[in-house]
Every structure is written in structure tokens, then in C-alpha cells.
Amino acid sequence: MLTHESPVLVTGGAGFIGSHFVLDWFSTVGTPLVNLDKLTYAGNLRNLLPVADLPGYHFVRGDIRDRELIDRLMNEFSPRAIVHLAAESHVDRSLVGPGEFLDTNIHGTFVLLEAARAYLDKLDSDDRAKFRFLHVSTDEVFGSLKPGDAPFEETFAFRPNSPYAASKAASDLLVRAWGKSYGFPAVVTNCSNNYGPLQFPEKLLPLILNRAIHGEPLPIYGDGLQVRDWLYVGDHAAALRVALEKGVPGQTYNIGGWNEQANLDTVQMLCALLDEFLPNSPHRPHAQLMKFVTDRPGHDRRYAINATKAERELGWRPKETFASGLRKTVRWYLDNQAWVQEVTSGAYREWMETNYGAR
Ligand code: NAD
Ligand code: DAU
């Protein structure tokens, strides 16, 4: 019988958002959790050291596309939910090599849906009613906004522009279809740009911080006036926890920070914080390192989320302000240079050099 104490199966729990979700889970809910992660370049078990020895925590290294493995985990752990975060997540990588994105994000989601459906078929109706599949997605499925356009609402049409966004949109549509066709109990969240500790330094904020600390040029794509709606990752982890407990199957919820910023402003703010935290740095003022570079192909101009539904129906609102979240983030990267060193060596470094050369 499924109870509140039954485990949740998290995919991608060693990634950026996944590890915050797992850490948040054990400091709030605390019931058993199984973390299935392939440990690609983006997954790092060190992120999870604080929970690694807890009796309720289980780590399994494996691929969401491995149907046999998923079946085995479902039978062994009898989870009450799947929280699906595993994905290839970086837009620039999807432009260079879209295949892995389609495979992991679309086919991987399909395998999970089918394994969960087979598992549900074996449950009695009480347990079936308790089970949830939380599909974690992105605002990029909605495409790009112009200045003055209303922020994305859940009802907006999908207009993905990058291979990454298209792969996520496809996975969202699979989840929707499984709900409609099979009554599959899925809840979907579409979130804006996350930032905070433990983010792999290919994404804008940690990339800029890492390069600025070492006095390297700070690449600003195009004119730098693209707008992103930044959300502190801890607030996202809390939103996912609440969506899992209160989200209604068949519904989607937009999660965002109510925090639109042009990239140029974000980078300036990071540089100003580094100037403050590193008064003796030879690279001050760090903003002098900014360098305009060729734009990303198909670069979406503006994302902005209307998160009213999540506030009204889930009772969730972000707690962190951009000023407080940025301070915490900059402090964390300064204090954790060894982590940055570790994750930027090896496979990631080779990939960057093959595809982008030295920047
Ligand atoms: P991430 O790249 O940091 O982590 C992805 C994790 O998935 C890694 O631990 C990786 O090892 C794992 N993984 C990849 N392929 C796998 C596979 N085939 N089998 C098992 N594990 C696999 O990603 P993130 O930024 O933490 O994003 C997590 C999820 O949230 C993704 O689905 C992403 O689309 C979504 N999302 C991210 C953001 C953001 O700003 N980062 C915003 C909205 C939504
Ligand atoms: O909106 C949610 C999405 O946010 C998530 O679904 C994705 O997984 C996540 O990667 C993120 O996508 P973005 O493309 O918005 O994030 P990224 O950090 O790559 O870029 C943020 C902005 O900064 C974007 O406008 C591109 C720009 N940029 C990025 C890099 C890496 C630069 O100007 N220079 C850079 O070097």
C-alpha cells in the first residue's frame, strides 16, 4: 500500500536543481527518496554529501532510457511519485549536438512514462489515486516574448526555438497525452531561469563569475539586452515540493521569480558584487572584462513568467529577492572554487575546447 512514507523516485537528482530538490526534501519532508542519475558532466554526487549517509537516501547510477532498470526500481522501491528532472539542459550544447537532447529529453521521458504506467496497472485503485508523476519543464517551451508582451501563462501556445526547447516541449506534450489518453496522473511545472550555488559553470551566472574571478573576458551574446526572469534555485526546489503535494493531475503550473533582468544588468550586478567582495583583486573593476561576442543562433529575446496560478492554487511564492540571492550566489562561488575547478576539468573542458575553442 502506498503511504506518505513510501519513497519518491527522483531523476537527475545529482544535477543543479535536482540536488537542491534532494537537499530541500531531507530538510523538510524527510521521507525516503531514491535518486536515479546517469552522472553526465552535469551530475555531481559531491552536491549530495550532506544527505549521502541518511538511511532514507538511495542513489542509483543509471539512465532514464533503461526500461529494465526503471522497471526494477519501481518494483523494488514501490514509489509514491516520480519527480522527473533528468535532462540535457544547456541550450548552447543543444545547438551543437541536438541528438542527445532528443534522446534523453524525449525518449527518456517516454520510457519513464511507460514504466510508470505499467507500474500503475499493478496497483489497486486507492494506490493509483495516490501516485503522482511530476514533470519538471521550462518556460522556453513558450518561445520568445517581445518587450511589452504579457508574461507567459499556462495557456500560451508552445513555440520552442532551440533544439533544447523543442525537446522539452515534446516531452511536455507526451506527458499531456499520457494524461489524456491513459488518465496518467501527471503534474507539469514550467520554470524560468534558475540561479544559485551548485550550478554548472556553463550557464550565464556561474560562467561569468568563474571567468571574472580569473580576469578572463566575460562573453555577452549579441547586444546583451535579452531578458531572463531569474529565480533562486532554493525557491524552485520549494515550488516542486509543493507542486508534488498539492498539484492537480492534468494541470501545469508556471514557476517564476517575478524578476526580469537584461543580461547586461545581471552581469553588471555580478561584477559590482565581485568588486565589493574582492577589494584587492587586480581585475577590478570587473565590468571592464565584459566583451560583446557573436550572438547565439535563434537567441530568444525575452522570457517572463506569470506565476499567479502557482501562487493562487499551490500557495507558493518565491522568498529570495534578486539582491539577496545574488549575494548568496557570489559568496558561494568565491568560497567553493575547488568545486568549480573539479567540475570544469576533464570531460567538460575537452567538450568546450572541441566545440568552441578558447574564448
Ligand atoms: P542539469 O544539467 O544541472 O542536471 C541534469 C541532471 O540529469 C544531471 O545530474 C545529469 O547527470 C542527469 N541526466 C542527464 N541525462 C540523464 C539520463 N539519460 N539518465 C539519468 N540522468 C540523466 O540540469 P538542471 O539545470 O538541474 O535542470 C533540471 C531540470 O529542470 C531539467 O529537466 C531542465 O530542463 C529543467 N529546468 C531547468 C532550468 C534552469 O534554469 N536550469 C529552468 C527550468 C527548467
Ligand atoms: O528559461 C529556463 C532555461 O534557462 C532552462 O530551461 C535551461 O535549462 C537553462 O539553461 C536556461 O536557459 P538560457 O539559455 O536562458 O540560460 P543560459 O545561462 O545559457 O543563458 C542565459 C542568458 O545569457 C541567455 O540570454 C544567453 C546569455 N549568455 C549566456 C552565456 C552562457 C551570454 O550572454 N553569454 C554566455 O556566455
What CATH number did the domain enclosing 130 receive?
A: 3.40.50.720
CA dihedral sign, ordered 251, 25, 192, 100: negative
Element (H, E) at 98: helix 98-101
What mean pLDDT comes out for the span 339-353? 77
d(CA 278, CA 180): 55
- pLDDT at residue 352, as a whole number: 66
Residues 81/130, Cβ–Cβ less than 8 Å:
no
Strand partners, 133: 82, 186
Q: Pick the residue whose CA is nearest to atom 11 on ligand 2.
A: 193
- Helices 163-182 and 108-121 pack at an angle, to 10 degrees, of 20
Q: Pick the residue whose CA is nearest to atom 8 on ligand 2.
A: 89
Ligand 1: nearest atom to the Cα of 13: 9
Residue 223 lies in a domain: no
Give, for ligand 1, the residue of 10, 16, 44 to mutate: max count of ligand atoms closer than 8 Å to Cβ.
Answer: 16
Strand partners, 104: none
Residue 353 lies in a domain: no
Question: Which residues does ligand 1 sit against, CB inside 6 Å?
Answer: 11-12, 14-18, 37-40, 42-43, 63-65, 85-87, 89, 104, 108, 136-138, 168, 191, 193-194, 200
Ligand at shortest distance from the CA of 19: 1
Ligand 2: nearest atom to the Cα of 139: 1
Tens of pLDDT along 272-289? Answer: 999 999 999 999 999 999
Q: Pick the residue whose CA is nearest to atom 35 on ligand 2.
A: 204
% of the chain residues with pLDDT over 90? 94
Residue 142 lies in a domain: yes
Q: Is the pLDDT of residue 358 over 60?
A: no
Residue 46 lies in a domain: yes
Ligand 1: nearest atom to the Cα of 64: 19
Q: In this structure, how many other beta carbons lie within 10 angstroms of the beta carbon of residue 146?
A: 7
Residue 50 lies in a domain: yes
* Catalytically active residues, by annotation: 139-140, 164
Tens of pLDDT along 201-240? Answer: 999 999 999 999 999 999 999 999 999 999 999 999 999 9
Ligand 1 centre from 102 Cα, in Å?
13
pTM: 0.97
Q: Is the pLDDT of residue 359 over 60?
A: no
Report the half-sphere exposure of 358 (CA within 13 A, side-chain side): 2
Q: Pick the residue whose CA is nearest to atom 36 on ligand 2.
A: 219
Element (H, E) at 37: strand 33-37
Grid cell 527518456 is found at: 108
What mean pLDDT comes out for the span 91-95? 97
What mean pLDDT comes out for the span 323-329? 98
Extended beta strands in 145-272, E state: 186-191, 194-195, 218-221, 227-229, 231-232, 252-255, 260-262
Residue 137 lies in a domain: yes
Residue 344 lies in a domain: no
Domain that holds residue 165: 8-194+232-258+298-321
What mean pLDDT comes out for the span 17-21? 98
Ligand at shortest distance from the CA of 109: 1
Burial 243-262 (b: 16+ CB within 10 A, else e): bbeebeeebbbbbbbbbbbe
- pLDDT at residue 131, as a whole number: 98
Looking at the structure of the chain, the number of domains it has is 1
Residues 286/275, Cβ–Cβ less than 8 Å:
yes
d(CA 147, CA 52): 45
Residue 345 lies in a domain: no
State the cell numbers at 43.
Answer: 551530475
C-beta of 232 in contact with ligand 2 (< 6 A): no
C-beta of 207 in contact with ligand 2 (< 6 A): yes
C-beta of 138 in contact with ligand 2 (< 6 A): yes
